[in-house]
């Protein structure tokens, strides 16, 4: 006969087990409550091997949820579609809109000891704070977007003016991205790098004119970094405003160069943040995780495997000069010419200008 109920013995056993659990597990209650954290991040930032150290250390499984785009991340948080995300990855440039929209939890820096090891430029950035100076995100990974070029086709290291030089017509490419392309035109026109993302209407009109004159010189506008790498590999393009990927991928196959223009180097930086609605228990684990991201294990792995630098100086002196150079931390002066692309509040106008350029 099939049993449909439970016996008295089972009831007693269950009660005893419950009592024992109550007595013996209080000390580890917080840890027992959180067995898994979901980290929404880019696949390049969150290889499974990068987080195994933390999993062993904290006894918490880190489930990786890879992002498709920053816009998709923002939309998911805004619409509540990201209910299972415990840790998110806003960009330094875009953090302000998450903060303004009230999507992020305020952070207690005293719970992140490794934050003191961050380079000053990241430690003091106001981009992760609200108007009252409260911190909502921690920059943890960064890099530069240089000009990548074929050394055999250029006599000297290119700068932004090279991208507008008729001498190189048909060999140049720009990213199909209003923000960076218009800003580069602004820099060429002489707008200072700290003003270039808040250009007034007159400056924007001048930038538009310059970009229209540039258009016939370009081979194409590139869409993805894989696309641009392919354009370099197939000889279509010899010089482009880029990410470092084509340089890394094609070095050894062709003479590739990478230039960091003095007018201003566009940087990218990813931040760690937690959704505003995250529980206090999970937030405690989140603090441990960002501390891990700024610590030696993650910094070493991501530098040696992914060729990216964390914002923490923790391992800098332990790397060879070559390894430092690969991740742009051999010459710290580069940080003096950083500029962080920020979508301005009138970004719709920038988009219209960009489409007018492309439609010209």
Partner 1 sequence: MRLTLHRAHLALPVALVLILGCLLPLLLLIAFSVFTVDMDAFEMVPDFSLANWAQMLTNPVFAFLIGKAVLSGLITALIAAVLGYPLALSIANLPIAWKGIAQILLLTPLYTGEIVRIYAWRVVLGSEGLINAVLEGLGLVDEPVKLLLFSPFTTHLVLLYNTLPFMVLPIWISAELIDRRLIEAARDLGARPFEAFTRVVFPLTIPGLGVGLLAVFALSAGDMLTPSMLGGTSGATPMAMIDNLFGTAFDWPLASVLALSLLITLFATASSIGFLLLRFKGARAVLQGGLK
Binding mask 44-73 vs partner 1 (x if CB under 8 A, - otherwise)? Answer: -------------------------xxx--
- What crossing angle do the helices spanning 201-214 and 178-188 adopt, rounded to 10°? 100
Q: Does 249 bind partner 1 (CB under 8 A)?
A: no
Helix, strand, coil % (nearest 5) of the chain?
Answer: 50, 20, 35
Alpha-carbon span 248 to 175, nearest angstrom:
18
User: 257: which strand partners?
Assistant: 149
Q: Does 262 bind partner 1 (CB under 8 A)?
A: no
Closest distance to partner 1 from the beta carbon of 91 (Å): 11
Cα within 13 Å of Cα(169), Cβ side: 7
Among 61, 100, 195, 318, indicate the residue that binds partner 1 (CB under 8 A). 100
Among 157, 227, 323, 330, indicate the residue that binds partner 1 (CB under 8 A). 227
Alpha-carbon span 321 to 348, nearest angstrom:
43
Closest distance to partner 1 from the beta carbon of 239 (Å): 15
Q: Which stretch binds partner 1 (CB under 8 A): 42-50, 55-63, 184-192, 231-239?
A: 231-239
Alpha-carbon span 39 to 108, nearest angstrom:
19
User: 63: which strand partners?
Assistant: 38
Rank residues 103 and 329 by Cβ distance to partner 1 and give the closer one. Answer: 103
Among 11, 101, 166, 198, indicate the residue that binds partner 1 (CB under 8 A). 101
Q: Does 255 bind partner 1 (CB under 8 A)?
A: no
- Classify 246 in phi/psi space as left (phi over 0), alpha (psi -120 to 50) or beta: alpha
User: 303: which strand partners?
Assistant: none
Rank residues 113 and 170 by Cβ distance to partner 1 and give the closer one. Answer: 170
Q: Does 205 bind partner 1 (CB under 8 A)?
A: no
Rank residues 70 and 301 by Cβ distance to partner 1 and give the closer one. Answer: 70
* Contact of 210 with 163, CB cutoff 8 Å: no
Q: Does 40 bind partner 1 (CB under 8 A)?
A: no
Site residue total, partner 1 (CB under 8 A): 35
Q: H or E segment at 50?
A: helix 48-58
DSSP string, 68-133: S-HHHHHHHHHHTTTTT-SBB--BTTTHHHHHHTT-BPPP-GGG-GGGGGB-HHHHT-GGGB-TT-
Give me Rg for the CA atoms of the chain: 24
Contact positions with partner 1 (CB under 8 A) in 171-200: 176, 178-179
Closest distance to partner 1 from the beta carbon of 205 (Å): 14
Closest distance to partner 1 from the beta carbon of 252 (Å): 19
Closest distance to partner 1 from the beta carbon of 148 (Å): 18
Residue with tokens 């992140």: 112
138-145 vs 265-272, strand pairing mode: antiparallel
Rank residues 228 and 319 by Cβ distance to partner 1 and give the closer one. Answer: 228
Rank residues 307 and 358 by Cβ distance to partner 1 and give the closer one. Answer: 358
Q: Does 235 bind partner 1 (CB under 8 A)?
A: yes
Q: Does 219 bind partner 1 (CB under 8 A)?
A: yes
Residues that bind partner 1 (CB under 8 A): 69-71, 78, 97, 100-102, 170, 176, 178-179, 215-216, 218-221, 223, 227, 230, 234-236, 343, 345, 347-348, 350-352, 355-356, 358-359
């Amino acid at each position: 006969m099939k049993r449909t109920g439970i016996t008295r013995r089972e009831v007693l056993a269950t009660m005893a087990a419950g009592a024992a659990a109550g007595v013996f597990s209080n000390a580890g209650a917080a840890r027992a409550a959180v067995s898994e954290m979901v980290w929404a991040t880019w696949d390049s930032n969150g290889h499974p091997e990068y987080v195994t150290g933390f999993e062993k250390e904290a006894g918490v499984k880190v489930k990786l949820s890879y992002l498709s785009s920053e816009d998709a991340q923002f939309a998911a948080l805004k619409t509540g579609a990201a209910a299972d995300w415990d840790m998110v990855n806003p960009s330094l440039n875009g953090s302000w809109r998450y903060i303004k929209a009230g999507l992020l939890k305020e952070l207690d820096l005293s719970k992140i000891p490794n934050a003191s090891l961050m380079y000053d430029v990241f430690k003091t950035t106001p981009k992760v704070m609200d108007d009252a100076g409260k911190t909502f995100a921690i920059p943890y990974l960064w890099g530069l977007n240089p000009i990548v070029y074929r050394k055999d086709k250029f006599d000297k290291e290119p700068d932004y003016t090279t991208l507008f030089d008729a001498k190189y017509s048909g060999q140049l490419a720009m990213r199909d991205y209003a923000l960076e392309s218009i800003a580069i035109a602004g820099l060429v026109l002489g707008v200072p790098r700290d003003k270039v993302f808040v250009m007034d209407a007159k400056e924007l009109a001048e930038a538009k004119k310059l970009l229209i004159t540039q258009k016939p010189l370009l081979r194409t506008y590139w869409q993805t970094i894989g696309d641009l790498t392919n354009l370099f590999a197939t000889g279509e393009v010899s010089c482009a405003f880029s990410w470092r990927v084509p340089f890394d991928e094609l070095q050894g196959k062709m003479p590739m160069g990478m230039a960091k223009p003095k007018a201003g180097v566009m940087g990218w930086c990813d931040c760690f943040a937690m959704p505003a609605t995250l529980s206090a228990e999970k937030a405690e684990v989140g603090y441990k995780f960002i501390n891990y991201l700024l610590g030696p294990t993650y910094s070493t792995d991501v530098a040696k495997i992914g060729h990216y630098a964390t914002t923490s100086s923790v391992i800098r002196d332990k790397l060879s000069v070559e390894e430092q150079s690969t991740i742009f931390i051999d010459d710290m002066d580069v940080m003096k010419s950083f500029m962080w692309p920020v979508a301005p509040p009138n970004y719709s106008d920038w988009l219209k200008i960009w489409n007018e350029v492309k439609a010209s």
